[in-house]
Every structure is written in C-alpha cells, then in structure tokens.
Structure 1
Amino acid sequence: MSLRAFFSTVVGGLVVLVVVSAMLLVVLTSALERMASTLSESVEGVRQAEELEVDLLVHSRLIAAPDTPMVVDPSRGRSPQQIEFDLRRQLGELHTSASTDEERKVMSQVEHVVSAYLDAQRMASARTGGDAMHDALVMGTLDAALRSLEHLIQINVDQAQSARLRATRWSETANVLGLALGVLLLATLGLVVFWLRRFALRPVAGLQRAMRGFGTGRNKDSRAPEEGPSEIRDMAHTFNEMADSLAHQQEQQLAFLAGVAHDLRNPLSALKLSTSLASSGRAEVTPERMQRTLGLVRRQVERLDRMVGDLLDATRIEAGKLELQPEVRDTRELARSVVELYQSSDSGHTLELVVPDTAVLVRADPARLEQVLTNLVSNALKYSPAGSRVEVAVRGDGDHAVMAVSDQGIGMSPEELQGLFVPFQRAGNAKQRAPGVGLGLSVSRRIIEAHGGRIEVESRPGQGSVFRVHLTRVSAGPPGLPAPSDDEEPAGAVH
C-alpha cells in the first residue's frame, strides 16, 4: 500500500466520521428542539386549562353566593359577565394550542360542556325563584366541564412526560454515539500511528542507516530493505541500484587504474631496457642496433602519448571542456592523410582508401576528426590478423558525409557491442589481442557527437567490423576555409 493511498483512506475515513457526527448532531438537535417545543406546549396547555378551571369555579361561586366574601379573590375584581367573556376567550386560545387529534377532541368537549354550563347559569339567573332541578343542571354541567379540563390537563401532562422520556432516550443515545465515535477516532489514530511506525518509519530508518553506512564508506555492501509503502520501496530500490552502480563504477575504476598501471609499465619497461642496452659499459652498440633501439623507443613513446591523450580527452569531455575549432574541410583529404600515416609504417596489413571523385565537405575540427579516424584505423589494424585488408572509405549520402573503416578482424558479439562505447570497458578478446585502457572509442564517439554526428558499428564474431562516422555535409566553401559563425554553436562544451 502506498503512502498516498493510506493517507487518502485515513483522510476519507476522518471526513466520513466528521460528516456522520455532523449529521447526528443535526438530528439530535432537531429532535431535542421538537421535544422542547412539545414540553413548552404541554406546560402552556396545562396553564390555560388550570386558569379555565379557576375561572369556572370563581364564576360559579360568584353566581351562587355573590355576597359571600372570599379569602382570596381570584376574579381580581371582575364581574361574572367579565369572567364569562374571559372563559370564551380562553376556550379559543385552547384550540390554537392543540397539537394532537385527541387533544383537539377533548378541547371540543370542554368547549361544549363549558358552553352548556354558561347556558345553564344564564337560565338559572333568569328565573326569579330557586329551582332544584336547574341548580342540579348547573352543578352537573360544571362538574362535566371540570372533568373535561382535568382530562385535558392529564393529556398535556402525559405529552410532557412522553417528551421528557424521549429526550432522555435521545440523550442516552447521543452519549453512546459520542462515546463510540470518540473510541473509533482514538482507534483510528492508534492504527495510523501503529501503521506509520511499523510500515513507514521502520523502512525509512532502514533506508537512513543504509545510506549513512554507504555514504561514510564504512559498509560499501550496505543496502536498504525494499519494504513498506510503494514510495519508500521505490526509494530503497533506487538507492540500491545507485549503490550497485557506484560499486560497479568503483570496481571499474580500480580495474582501470590497474590496467593503466599495467599498460604504462610495459612501455616504461621497454624504455628502461632500451636505455640500459644503449648505456655505457655494455657491448659495442652498432648503428643497426641503435636504429632498432630508437625505433622501439619511438613506438613506446607514441603509445604512451596516445594513452595520455585519451585520458586527457576523457577528462575534458567529462568536465564539458572539449574545445572544437571547426573548419570546412574535405573528408577525402582527412582520410587520405590518416591512411598515408599508417601506410608509411610496416603494419603487415593491406590498407586501402576508397574515395569519390568529388569533394565531400563537412564543418569540423580537422585535428579531432583525424584523431577519430586514427583511432578507428589503429583498432582495425590491431584486431585484424596479419596480411588482412583494412579499408577506409569516404562517400556522400544525401545530406551526410560517411567515413567508414572496415576490417577482417576478430569481430564482436551483440553482447559485446552493447558496452563497446562505455569508458574503460573492453571486449574479452580485445583484452588479449592488444593493450589499452578502453577509452579510444568512448572519446571518439563523444567527439563525433560534439560535431552533431554519430558513429555506427556492424560486427560479427570472426567476420570483422565496420565503423561508420556520419557528419552533416556542407555544400559551400573551399577546403581550409573557416566555418561561418552564423548557424553553429560556439566551440567548447560537449552536448
């Protein structure tokens, strides 16, 4: 699992928890608000019903015994007519506060019996003498009205108790949900911390230890464990590849230093032997022997000069300081000068030059281009059997000038071709056939690439090799004319 997926899952889970908590809070708030409204309406209903009861009793007392004093005058100085008016007003208010069908039904009953009571009182007041039957009717309607009001009060009390019980249950539910959400949140945070420590921080610590051990040089075999999230595994894999590459490069550098020391020792030993033979105290030095000694010294010095030149060129190329002095030159003349150089020496090979009748012009540094051709021809001669043919050909191919060096030497396999232009690497057969440090072809390729060209090679084991140099062809300017500066990059860094 990747860190991105893990944190996306964690953040998504937290968002879900927050949304659920917010929804539960909204639902709880709405429910409590409804219950509070129900409680308020029930209390108001009880108050109105009790006031209605009090006014009915006061009205009955004032009608039955108007001269009897009261300890407390609930009527507040009102007349029976005013109390009757208040009773009818209170009946209307009761209807507006009804919230259930049962409550509205009881209120209708209350209104009916209260109206019957008032009508009975009005009829009793209209009669001049007392009538036991009318008095009984008044008292019966009053008792019915009071019972109806008590029923209404009980309904409101029951509603209030029911709302209180629901509020209690909602409060308990909210407490349980809040506790569950809190525990779930703490568990999520604990799992996040555990996962980070177990699957993220430990691989990071391992990667840090491996990098520190490898960086300080105390443990070059130190490698990071490729475990944990995919990002950390990729980092560890990249570090391990880098460490393997650096270790391989270090091995190559050590092998290169050993090869350079070995290759330098051979010409130095030959020079030392030659000088010791020509020194005083030895047998008489004949002119023929002196010529052979000087020839040996010259060849060894040339070999040393070529090795040192390749090393310097490789250093300049890696530092980006290879300087070029481009000119418009005829590749036929450059190839001819290189062939003449090797034809003058007794190499034991047949060296042929194949050039067209017309000039094949390129814009290049002639010294560097001759260096490349010299290196290719030298390799062809070194890795070809004595008496074989080496061909140097120049031709124009559309917008390109092609210089090819073909030999009939040992050839190379496809696997060997893959590392042919890698610095300090040499094919297995080449190491036994000729000395060297493996820089010539690498330097040659970088020189040609600095000119905007490329080198191609075709080879088969036992059938020889063909190296082709492709450069951009120009169509104007006589040989030796400096190249125009409009469309060229400044001499200097290799790209």
Structure 2
Amino acid sequence: MRWLHRRHLLPVLVFFTAMFVSLGIDQSLGSTIAVLLILQLSIVIIALQCHSRMAYFAAVAEALSFNFLFTDPRYSLRMFHQDDMINLVVFVAVAFTTSQLAERYRRQQNALKQMRLRHQILLSVSHDLRTPLAGIIGNLTTIKEYSAQLNEAEKNELLDSAITESHRLHQYIENLLQATKLQHGVVRINKAQESILHILKNVIERFSSSSERVSVDVKGSVKLLEVSRALLEQALFNVLDNALRYSPKDKAVRVTVEQNHEQVVIDIYNQGQPLKPDEAENMFELFYSGGEKKSADSGSGLGLSVAKGVISAHQGTIECIDVKQGCLIRITLPSGQQG
C-alpha cells in the first residue's frame, strides 16, 4: 500500500493493537477505566517514537473511537453519562500533555546529542590535526636547519614522510567535511554507470606502498553500478584503510567481489585481532575509534562512519560479520537501482 509510509506503520500498528486489546477488555471485564489506560499507553508509545503531530492525531482518533465503541449509546458519537464525558476530557488532556512532554524530551535529547558531537569534533580535531601537522613541521624544519648535514637519501626520506602526513591530513579533512554533510543530510548523490572493479582498482592504487598487501578475488562477472564514483571511492578507501591499519604487516587484506541476484557484495577481510562484541556493534558510529584511549594509529573514528553514510545513501548496507579471527566488513550495493 503506497499510501502507508513506513514512518506511519508504527502508529497504525499501535493504534489497532490498542483497539483490539481494549475491545477484549471491554467484553471480558466491562471496565471503562482499563480501556482508557490502554488507550493512554498507546498514546505514550506513539508520542515517544513519532512526531508530536502523529500523537495528536492518534489522541483525537482514539478519543472518537472510545466515544463510538465504549460509551453508551454504543456506535454513536453522542454521550449520555457525565462520567464518560469527564473521562474523555481527561484522556484528551493527558494525551496532549504527554505528546508535548515527549516532544520536549526529544528536543532535549537532540540538543544533548549535538553538544556531544561538538565535543567529539573538538577532541578529534585536537588530535587528528595536530599529529600530522607536527610531523610535517618537524620533517620540514629538520630539512631546513640540518640541510648541510643530511645526505640526499635522508632528505628524500623526510620529504616522503612529510608528504605521507600531508595525505593523511587531507584525508582527515575530507572525512570530516563529508561526515558533517552526512549528519545534516546535504550530500548530493550524482550517479552514473560505473565499474565497481575500476573504482576498487583506483582505491588500492592510492595506498602506494601498501597496495601489494591487498589481494582481490572477483567471482564471476560484475555488472556496472549506478553510483557516485567519488563518494563510493571514498567509502571503500576508508574501509580498506581501516583494514590495513589493524592487519599485521605480513598478512594480506583480502577483498572479494561477487554479484548475487540483484546486488553486489564486497567483502573486505583482515587477519588482525578479533573484535569484541561492543567494538563490532559501535565501529560505524561517528568518532568511535575502538578504545577508550586514542593512539597514533587508532584513526579518527570518522572513516567507517562516513563509509556507512555513503553506502546507506546508495541504498546499500555495510556491516561487520562475525568471524573467529580478524575482521570481515561486508558491503552490499543494489545492482539494479535507478538514479
């Protein structure tokens, strides 16, 4: 039913469940108060889970239903008993008050979430901007002050290190900007027919010296996907970067690509330490970096969150699959989606 939007499904289910239970109570116990309490509980559930306007609408609908189904004369909107009138007025007043309180609670939770997000951004920026900047400044200062004492190989090594830190800084800023856009829902998805294998090849080449640690296995033929090349490349880079960071240097990161029915499945597996349950559950959360204390190699906690946002924007999924050893990230993308 196209008219029934997914966000309307919960209040509709709660409404009809409350009606069904109330009819059962009315027939078995004949208690008007019990019926009102059941209906009131349904309003609380709707108010907490949905927009306040939906709760107001449900309150009016349930008030009319109470009048029509549970008060004398039955199956009429007229009311003869003063107690029923008072009960109905109290029900509507409590329902509207509950909806307003739920909306206020929701706003407070959003404000708290935004405050925590700003705090996390400040902590992340203070660490993830300072570290590569310190490396760049240190390397360039060393070259400038000790140029006469350094041979060509040492200078090149310092310059290569500065370039690496520059790329790290650039990637962090890109992820931070993308995370901000995803949080505010302003990312533009400009799709075109692209080869996922070609995108993956470009991603692996970006790792230069670490690219030989990545093995790719393509099972069968893979169709072109209608995706945003730039965004998907960034998402895959973030996942692969995370896999390489936490994988032993002598172990390969395995990437498997396969098309199943109407979707393409990309598995990225590293042979590092197995994840704890809470790490697997929270690894795609913004600024989660897998531990209480951040180390130089722990990452910013931005990459996987951005990857999840990008994949979700393509109507795909990304999840951590439970394996005995290492970490397996599975990405699925619909192969038949239209722009």
Tell me the TM-score range normalised by the shorter chain: 0.5 to 0.7
Equivalents in 2 of 1:243, 1:325: separation in Å?
35
Which has the larger share of helix? 1
Q: Trace 1:466-485 onto structure 2 (pairs within 5 A).
A: 466-473=328-335
Instruction: Please list every run of 5 or more consecutive structure 1 residues that lacks an aligned counterpart in the other structure.
Output: 19-187, 202-228, 475-486, 490-495
Aligned counterpart for 2:173 among listed residues 280, 290, 308: 308
Equivalents in 1 of 2:279, 2:107: separation in Å?
23
1:143-164: per-residue Cα shift (whole Å, max 9, x none)?
xxxxxxxxxxxxxxxxxxxxxx
Aligned counterpart for 1:331 among listed residues 171, 188, 196: 196
Aligned counterpart for 1:363 among listed residues 226, 242, 256: 226
Q: Say whether the 8 Å CA contact 2:289–2:298 is kept in structure 1.
A: no
Letter paired with 1:422? E
**Change in 2 beyond 3 A, CA 1:282/1:290:** closer
SS at match of 1:428: coil
Q: Which residue of 2 aligns with 1:437?
A: 300
1:318-355: per-residue Cα shift (whole Å, max 9, x none)?
3443233433233223223333443x3147x8321111
1:378 deviates by 0.5
Letter paired with 1:318? Q
SS at match of 1:445: helix
Aligned counterpart for 1:269 among listed residues 134, 146, 150: 134
Size of the aligned set, in residue pairs, is 269
**Change in 2 beyond 3 A, CA 1:409/1:239:** farther
Mapped pair 1:392 → 2:249? no
Q: Say whether the 8 Å CA contact 2:320–2:329 is kept in structure 1.
A: yes
1:245 deviates by 4.8
1:359-393: per-residue Cα shift (whole Å, max 9, x none)?
43222222322222211110001112221221011
1:431 deviates by 3.8
1:277 deviates by 0.6
Q: Which residue of 1 aligns with 2:326?
A: 464
Equivalents in 2 of 1:364, 1:327: separation in Å?
6
SS at match of 2:335: strand
Aligned counterpart for 2:154 among listed residues 289, 305, 321: 289
Letter paired with 2:320? V
Q: Say whether the 8 Å CA contact 2:286–2:302 is kept in structure 1.
A: yes
Report the RMSD for the aligned CA atoms in angstroms: 3.8
Instruction: Please list every run of 5 or more consecutive structure 2 residues that lacks an aligned counterpart in the other structure.
Output: 1-36, 41-58, 73-78
1:452 deviates by 2.6
Equivalents in 1 of 2:308, 2:219: separation in Å?
25
1:34-90: per-residue Cα shift (whole Å, max 9, x none)?
xxxxxxxxxxxxxxxxxxxxxxxxxxxxxxxxxxxxxxxxxxxxxxxxxxxxxxxxx
Letter paired with 1:305? H
Letter paired with 1:309? E
**Change in 2 beyond 3 A, CA 1:435/1:291:** same
Q: Which residue of 2 aligns with 1:488?
A: 338
Equivalents in 2 of 1:244, 1:446: separation in Å?
21
1:138-183: per-residue Cα shift (whole Å, max 9, x none)?
xxxxxxxxxxxxxxxxxxxxxxxxxxxxxxxxxxxxxxxxxxxxxx
Q: Say whether the 8 Å CA contact 1:336–1:353 is kept in structure 2.
A: no
SS at match of 1:396: strand
Equivalents in 2 of 1:350, 1:314: separation in Å?
28
**Change in 2 beyond 3 A, CA 1:370/1:288:** same
Q: Which residue of 1 aligns with 2:122?
A: 257
Q: Say whether the 8 Å CA contact 1:391–1:405 is kept in structure 2.
A: yes
Q: Which residue of 1 aligns with 2:111?
A: 246
**Change in 2 beyond 3 A, CA 1:423/1:406:** same
**Change in 2 beyond 3 A, CA 1:425/1:253:** farther
1:358 deviates by 3.2
TM-score computed with the length of structure 1 as normaliser: 0.47
Equivalents in 2 of 1:394, 1:442: separation in Å?
22
Letter paired with 1:352? S
Equivalents in 2 of 1:373, 1:243: separation in Å?
35
Q: Which residue of 2 aligns with 1:374?
A: 237
Same amino acid, percent of matched pairs: 25
SS at match of 2:177: helix
